[in-house]
Amino acid sequence: MKTEAVAGVQPALMKWARQSLGMSVEDVAARLKRPIDEVNAWEAGSSAPTYPQLEKLAYDIYKRPLAVFFLPFPPEEAAPEREFRSLPAADLQTLLPDTHLRIRRAHAYQLALKELFDNRNPVEELIWRHVILKLDAPVSAQAQAIRDALNISVDTQIGWKDEDSALKQWRQAIENAGVFVFKDSFKQKEISGFCLQDREFPLIYLNNSTTKTRQIFSLLHELAHLLLKKNGISKFDKSYLEQLPPSEKRIEQFCNAIAAEVLIPSADFEQQIQGWSHDLDKVEEHYFAGLAKRYGVSREAVLRRFLDQNRVSQHRYEQLAKQWNNQQKKGSGGDWFSTQGAYISKRFMQEVFSRHYRQQISMEQASDLLGIKPKNFAGLEQLVLKGAAA
């Protein structure tokens, strides 16, 4: 009966599923609207949930197949504490369940990519095979190597009409270089994104809950991580850097420097600011806005370049950065299908549809790979056929 405890549920699996999302017993009890002692008893093995309770745990809370709770031992999965070194331990331990789910989803995408492309990246010129970053080499030369590999000149960059176009172009160039880029709206707003390295299918996952210019910087920051052959997960607030061990702090600062140099090449930047006063604390804000528009970056990114040159004070930088961040708004999401099309890697999505058309996978299998319900398959298909997905 539905009110009877389910036989065969493994207590160790109950505890593992909860901990793998960074949830406490109190969190789970609150979601189920059950006493804390009851959840503790399930994990201790002195009792077990009913079938409806197990279904809610599996599908609504832990996002796991029901069958996983009957396995003899937990499946092998990399914990964020072992997988990422770019955040302090305290921050990794406080990742929200939603962030854990995004990381798990990214791993699922990598497995799907290996299956779809028979374990071989479809791109011939893979950027990480011939652009290998080194912490002790000049940043400017290495950033130029990235630009060359992506085939994006300064003239091309300044020709993009707005930041939305800039994000699409940088993303497409990086995908053309073999890296798969996914996006989603994170509930943990302070996380800017993360990356997972792989010999054939490295992946970048961006937080769409922010401005386009921030996504662009995060995209290049995570690319730098991949070219160092290191996983990374990053936050917008750079204060966390001070809590990292020296070696990891150096890596994060290096990836920030690479992203800034790729987006705002020093040579062109110096040309644009010829004749400017050395002390820019009193300069009008629209000067920064003009440079930001030229490169398709945030005003804060431009201001940071001047801070690094000691041409604006720390106080002025923090004052304007706070003011601008409060002004920034996320772009409109558009309709559901366009949003999903923008979230999923374009090359990945096209391959899923191609396999479906060749009758190699069913509509249900294709929908599962894309993370959508089968009833929405036709709508997303129309978007792909129109070539509208970004």
What does pLDDT average to over the chain? 89
Residue predicted with more confidence, 2 or 299: 299
24 pLDDT higher than 60: yes
Domain ranges across the chain: 11-77, 89-263, 336-386
In this structure, are strands 180-184 and 203-207 parallel, antiparallel, or unpaired? parallel
Please state the rounded mean pLDDT for residues 84-111.
89
Axis crossing angle, helix 377-386 with helix 346-357, rounded to the nearest 10: 110
Q: pLDDT digit string (tens) for 83-92?
A: 888 888 888 8
Per the confidence metrics, is the pTM higher than 0.75? Answer: yes
Q: What percent of the chain clears pLDDT 90, i.e. is strictly above it? A: 58
Least confident segment among 80-84, 97-101, 191-195: 80-84
18 pLDDT higher than 90: yes
Q: pLDDT digit string (tens) for 27-72?
A: 999 999 999 999 999 999 999 999 999 999 998 999 898 899 999 9
Q: pLDDT digit string (tens) for 302-331?
A: 998 898 889 999 888 888 887 887 766 554
CATH code of 11-77, in short, is: 1.10.260.40
Do the Cβ atoms of 372 and 383 come closer than 8 Å? Answer: no
pLDDT of residue 25: 94
Q: What is the 3-state secondary structure (H, E, C) of the chain?
A: CCCCECCCCCHHHHHHHHHCCCCCHHHHHHHHCCCHHHHHHHHHCCCCCEHHHHHHHHHHHCCCCHHHHHCCCCCCCCCHHHHCCCCCHHHHCCCCHHHHHHHHHHHHHHHHHHHHCCCCCCCCCCHHHHCCCCCCCCHHHHHHHHHHHHCCCHHHHHCCCCHHHHHHHHHHHHHHCCCEEEEECCCCCCEEEEEECCCCCCEEEEECCCCHHHHHHHHHHHHHHHHCCCCEEEECCHHHHHHCCHHHHHHHHHHHHHHHHHHCCHHHHHHHCCCCCCCCCCCCHHHHHHHHHHHCCCHHHHHHHHHHCCCCCHHHHHHHHHHHHHHCCCCCCCCHHHHHHHHCCHHHHHHHHHHHHCCCCCHHHHHHHHCCCHHHHHHHHHHHHHCCCC
d(CA 266, CA 308): 12
388 pLDDT higher than 50: no
In this structure, are strands 191-196 and 232-235 parallel, antiparallel, or unpaired? antiparallel
